[in-house]
Amino acid sequence: MTSLSLFVAALAALQAPQTADSSRAARTDTLERVTVRAVRAGGAAPLSERTIARDELQRGYSGQEAPLLLTRVPGITAYSESGSFTGYSYLRLRGLDQNRVNLTFDGIPLNDPEDQAFYFSNVPDFANSVQSVQVQRGTGTSSFGTASYAGSVNFQSLDLAAATRGGELQLSGGAFDTRRAALQWRSGLVGGRWAVAARATSQQTDGFRRHSGNNASSGFFSAAWYGNHDVLKFTAFAGLSKLRSSYYAADEATVRRDPRDNPMATDERDRFSQVFWNLQHVRAVGAHAVWTTTVYRQGAGGWFDVRVDPELWRFNLSYNWYGALSTFSYRRGALAFDAGAHVMQYHRDHYLEIWPRLDERSYDNTGHKGEQAAFAKLQVERGRATWFGDVQWRRSAFRYVPDKNAGVAGPNIDWGFLNPRAGVTWRQTAALSLFASVGSVRREPTRDDMFVGADNLDASNAASILPLDHVRPEHVIDYEAGATWTRGAVRASANVFAMEFTQEIAPVGALSLTGSPLRVNVGASHRRGFEGELRWNASRDLSIDATLALTDARIHRYTDAASGVTYRNVRSRLTPGCVATQAAAWRLGHGFSVQAEARELSASPLTNTGDRSAQLPGYVLADAGLSWSRGASMVTVRMNNLFDRLAYGGGYASDGTNYVFPFATRHVMFDVRRTF
């Protein structure tokens, strides 16, 4: 059944008299899932996407941060600073960094509005509370929050109504003194009206790199009430992370001698907590429409210590973020219409203390940001064609309140954007469909971009920072075309893309004192390429999954402000020309199964200067696992980096030296699960 017909069937069922609990669970679960459809892409949408269900997310899962679970999506690369499963992990999509990817949870924005980033390390075991995730590549469809510039990643919370009543205990451990214990429970639908899910997790690791470990805990809670025409759902998660810092890379020569080297000192640490909650009301309006309204609040706070010889500086951050969003979805026959609106207010305090005088603040400033946005999407079927149109209006405003002794007035700036998209999907046969689309998206710079990496603005650096518009918004026009072919046990998809940028805000390869990458406008640039997927259930016991992404990313002309040198037709930083993955799962019988996976990346530049010596080497990494299950128990042993290769996931170059973040060398992890 298509998503449109499933949607309409659920609404029609809601008009019917109350029936048995099993039937009620089916339709309330369907209505529950409608809450993310306004920002997700349906099956007929003309764009490049992949949706990963919970079963696939949980395959080989031992507590990894979410970016590390998405590397089977074409064009995604990921790594963690510690080299292991946790500790500030990052993804790149088509070579574009994470703060240019729209991240949402049940349609609610996750990217921090100031710096447009989300740190999964603050909410450990986050992926354990996710029902599914959809990755859209390119400008995709309209969403809430940070612009969907490189793409979007939408997480869906656990389904409650359709869940089987019971719990699960997960125990993981292995290399680098890694340990995790997670206990979760779901009630299923109780009395045809209520459902609850909860999880608590504790985990710790020393990290692959020396003193790069993390001691962390987290919790998740969700409860829903299901009426005849309404769903009211509350969801919350919280986390606490205590990290030993490793956000500075080690020089490549040192890493070759000692892959676990960490140039940061043992007293450079951080501690952050994060809390998220939302209350969502879903209302069936007649037989064809659904109205969803959500209010949410996020808060995070903590500190990180950085040695600025001879002193140890403590940077403190604390933010509060409130918002509301509403969507309206209508499905009838060949017509599908979605509209949404979002408003939010946010502020984040920044202040510095210097050891040991932690009761004295060297400065104290606050950044405020507000946003209003609205979108409308229309999808119409006409014969074999499905036509799609989407337009988003978005306004974002930033206001800075300086320290009382800064000696500067507080600047402010605001931006307005109109982001249209259009496309068509053509069903050539029952097995083959084709699509083409074009989208235009503009995006504002982050606070770090505007402040050139500085955490405080005062009279000493105002001349190099003000006015705030010296880094201008960036613009991309994204052309996409592709095909999907499905027959029997085989599903294959392929697409080509051309992302044409104006004033791209590109990283120059250097880091600020606080570890954030420095970025500037580079004028005209492009990213063009091919992406393909093959999924084959070769037999009842064997499945194969392969992806390939080929990308040509170039800056047409770029002048380095520090040296005054102009570079032409240079490759874009940290964008490999080829990314390929292969995975296989084979059930052996008697409860045993084998999983194997390989990832291959070609070399990528560490700078935007065309310097061939500033390269991140290509690599091939392979993992393998053996699982055994019987009844309510399952045990998995996994060997990562099977052939013990030295490989790097990220890095930067400075003064002729390459600095790299290594992946962990060969190591073993295990996972034990028991349901009850």
On the question of pLDDT at 499 being above 70, the answer is yes
Cβ distance 458 to 402 under 8 Å? yes
Q: Which amino acid is at 432?
A: L
Tokens describing residue 177: 């003194």
What whole-number distance in Å separates Cα of residue 209 and Cα of residue 522? 34
Cβ distance 186 to 168 under 8 Å? no
Produce one character per residue of 552-585: b if its CB has 16 or more CB atoms within 10 Å, e if not.
ebbbeebeeeeeeeebeebbbbbbbbebbbbbbb
Which range (40-44, 229-233, 585-589) has the least confidence? 40-44
What whole-number distance in Å separates Cα of residue 212 and Cα of residue 85? 11
* C-alpha angle 397-403-409 in degrees, rounded to nearest 5: 60
What whole-number distance in Å separates Cα of residue 10 and Cα of residue 3? 10
**pLDDT score for 163:** 87
What whole-number distance in Å separates Cα of residue 429 and Cα of residue 246? 53
What whole-number distance in Å separates Cα of residue 116 and Cα of residue 232? 29
Give the list of residues 6+ apart from residue 286 with CB closer than 8 angstroms, or none.
11
Beta-bridged to residue 320, according to DSSP, are 299, 347
**pLDDT score for 287:** 87
In three-state secondary structure terms, 260 is coil
| H or E, element range at 343 | strand 335-354
**pLDDT score for 514:** 63
Cβ distance 591 to 630 under 8 Å? yes
Tokens describing residue 320: 């509060």
Cβ distance 412 to 364 under 8 Å? no
What whole-number distance in Å separates Cα of residue 614 and Cα of residue 560? 16
**pLDDT score for 34:** 58
Tokens describing residue 277: 């909650």
Domain that holds residue 73: 3-675
**pLDDT score for 613:** 93
Structural domains of the chain, count: 1
Residues belonging to the chain: 676
Cβ distance 121 to 155 under 8 Å? no
- pLDDT tens digit sequence for 263-317: 999 999 999 999 999 999 999 998 899 999 999 999 999 999 999 989 999 999 9
**pLDDT score for 558:** 83
Q: Which amino acid is at 425?
A: T
**pLDDT score for 274:** 96
Helix locations, 44-138, DSSP H: 54-58
Closest to 115 in 3D by CA, of 571, 449, 580, 562: 449
More confidently predicted of 407 and 565: 407
Local confidence band at 520 (pLDDT 50, 70, 90 cut-offs) = confident
CA-atom Rg of the chain in angstroms: 24
On the question of pLDDT at 6 being above 80, the answer is no
**pLDDT score for 515:** 61
**pLDDT score for 26:** 46
Local confidence band at 615 (pLDDT 50, 70, 90 cut-offs) = very high
Cβ distance 647 to 621 under 8 Å? yes
Cβ distance 337 to 378 under 8 Å? yes
On the question of pLDDT at 27 being above 80, the answer is no
CA distances from 134 to 39, 298, 320, 462, 531 (A): 10, 22, 27, 42, 16
Local confidence band at 20 (pLDDT 50, 70, 90 cut-offs) = very low
107: left (phi over 0), alpha (psi -120 to 50) or beta: left
**pLDDT score for 30:** 52
- pLDDT tens digit sequence for 353-406: 999 999 999 999 999 999 999 999 999 999 999 999 999 999 999 999 999 999
What whole-number distance in Å separates Cα of residue 529 and Cα of residue 552? 6
Local confidence band at 40 (pLDDT 50, 70, 90 cut-offs) = confident
What whole-number distance in Å separates Cα of residue 447 and Cα of residue 592? 51
Report the chain's mean pLDDT, rounded to a whole number.
Answer: 91
**pLDDT score for 19:** 40
What whole-number distance in Å separates Cα of residue 489 and Cα of residue 491? 7
Q: pLDDT over 70 for what percent of the chain?
A: 92
Cβ distance 203 to 63 under 8 Å? yes
**pLDDT score for 25:** 46
What whole-number distance in Å separates Cα of residue 292 and Cα of residue 329? 8
On the question of pLDDT at 257 being above 90, the answer is yes
Region 451-463: what's the mean pLDDT? 92
On the question of pLDDT at 17 being above 50, the answer is no
Q: With helix as H, strand as E and coil as C, how does 389-411 read?
A: EEEEEEEEEEEEECCCCCCCCCC
Residue appearing with tokens 């369907």: 30
CA distances from 118 to 90, 300, 419, 605 (A): 9, 11, 23, 25
The pairing of beta strand 151-157 with beta strand 101-105: parallel
Which range (307-311, 483-487, 549-553) has the least confidence? 307-311
Before 411, cis peptide (omega within 30)? no
On the question of pLDDT at 23 being above 50, the answer is no
Q: With helix as H, strand as E and coil as C, how does 479-546 read?
A: EEEEEEEEECCEEEEEEEEEEEEECCEEEEEEECCCCCEEEEECCEEEEEEEEEEEEECCCCCEEEEE
CATH number at residue 573: 2.40.170.20
**pLDDT score for 37:** 65
Cβ distance 164 to 184 under 8 Å? no
